[in-house]
Homo-oligomer: A and B are copies of this chain.
Amino acid sequence: MSDAYVVGVDMIKFGRFPDRTVPQIGAQAALMALDDCGLTIKDMEALYCGNLGQAAGMVGQRILQEIGQTGIPVINVSNACATGATAFREGWAAVKAGLYDLVLCVGVEQMGKGLLGGAGGGSGISREGLLGSGTMPSVFAEAGLEHSRKYGTTFAQFAKVSVKNHHHSTLNPKAMYQIETPLEVVMNAEMISYPNTKLMCSVNVDGSAAAIIASEKKARELGLMKRAVKVRASVLTSDPWQERDLVMPDVNSCTRLAAKKAYEMAGLGADDIDLVELHDCFATAEILHYENLGLCGPGEAGRMIDTGEVALGGRIPVNVSGGLLSKGHPLGATGIANIYEVATHLRGEGGKRQVEGARIGMTHVIGLGSACGIHILEKA
């Protein structure tokens, strides 16, 4: 199997676009990613599309109606919050298979109103499917409290995650928000489900992101290696019953399994990673994932946020994009938006938020139900 490279990648500025259709929103990112590498839809050999809210709606084909119908295969995937990562991974697999030399991967979501979003709302989804055993906020609150009980993690430590990510997004023009949120503001915001206040919940926004994956041969042939990013590992897991823990098995054991496999596939360890975009759907979740991804040992996550190790300029910056908490979380788009963020830093194009000298980065998403997607990317 030859290597596969991200040669073009972009995302729209996340926001609210109630007056546009899902395909129109997805088409915009697709065209931006094509522009990013100077290619057109006619160069693409397949389209992998991730969307949750209209999962049965042939969104990929409808995007082609917006940007050019060339007859290429379209694969529409959904995997809760891992939807975008799954679309990217299926495109990567096809290039690795030698089926195609150039594929387009698009993730897009137009969210409904309210905390949980409208994805899957009317499509017979089970509570287990998207909501877990309760509502999203209560499930992730419980998981945070379990961490507090075991390791003494404090409300302030959870809140600092939000302070950090909101600060990061002041440097990211594509994030939904560019507003500093001091600790007291985060802690005094409306309590959604203790210990997560409203500013510690991911932002419900519309958005899209797209990536173009090329075989090494094609990337070289097109002269695209200079800004190319190598996919060192692409891993997807589901809930492993054998490793079940009582709180958040989907999130914790599923992520730990994926991280283990990703490091194996890449032949790397956590120490080799220069930046991470992880699934901070709630502030409590980010704390859990420092440990799940092996960025620190069990019970050390509170220290990670206190010392600033995970902030821009720290040992291992996490969510320098602003993360789901401030950049926003359009479910089907998030997995590819993460790829965009990490690729941008590996290319040295991160502007004010650039992680200096970044050579290797990791993306992580997790969908309840369950699906965890991890990618490790490296500067080509």
Contact = CB atoms under 8 A, between A and B. Distances in A.
A282 to B, nearest CB: 20
Given A97-B94, A243-B71, A370 B58 contact: yes
Contact of A62 (B76, B77, B129, B236): B129
Interface string A47-60: 10000111111101
Interface stretch (A115-123, A157-165, A266-274, A288-296): A115-123
A15 to B, nearest CB: 20
B78 A369 contact: no
A312 B126 CA distance: 43
A298 interface: no
A69 B122 contact: no
A93 B86 contact: no
Given A75-B90, A90-B90, A97-B93, A64 B238 contact: yes
Contact of A69 (B68, B71, B238): B238
A305 to B, nearest CB: 29
A242 B80 CA distance: 35
A240 B69 contact: yes
A76 B75 contact: no
Nearest to A72: B238
Nearest to A237: B71
Nearest to A76: B78
B70 A58 contact: no
A125 interface: yes
A257 interface: yes
A251 to B, nearest CB: 13
Interface string A84-112: 00100110011011110000000000000
A371 interface: yes
A3 interface: no
A64 to B, nearest CB: 6
A60 to B, nearest CB: 8
A67 to B, nearest CB: 11
A370 B74 CA distance: 9
Given A68-B241, A240-B69, A123 B55 contact: yes
A123 B51 CA distance: 12
Given A56-B52, A369-B61, A69 B99 contact: no
A1 B74 contact: no
A123 to B, nearest CB: 4
A367 interface: yes
A54 B73 CA distance: 22
Given A22-B124, A56-B125, A93-B97, 16 more contacts: A54-B123, A57-B123, A57-B126, A58-B80, A58-B125, A58-B371, A69-B239, A69-B240, A70-B242, A73-B236, A73-B237, A73-B238, A74-B79, A75-B86, A76-B86, A97-B97
17 contacts: A47-B238, A53-B124, A56-B78, A57-B123, A58-B129, A61-B239, A61-B371, A62-B126, A62-B369, A64-B239, A69-B240, A71-B237, A71-B238, A96-B97, A96-B99, A97-B98, A120-B123
Interface of A: 1, 22, 46-47, 52-58, 60-62, 64-65, 68-80, 86, 89-90, 93-94, 96-99, 119-126, 128-130, 235-243, 253-254, 257, 367, 369-371
User: 8 tightest A-B contacts by CB?
Assistant: A71-B240, A122-B122, A97-B97, A56-B120, A55-B55, A69-B241, A73-B236, A58-B369
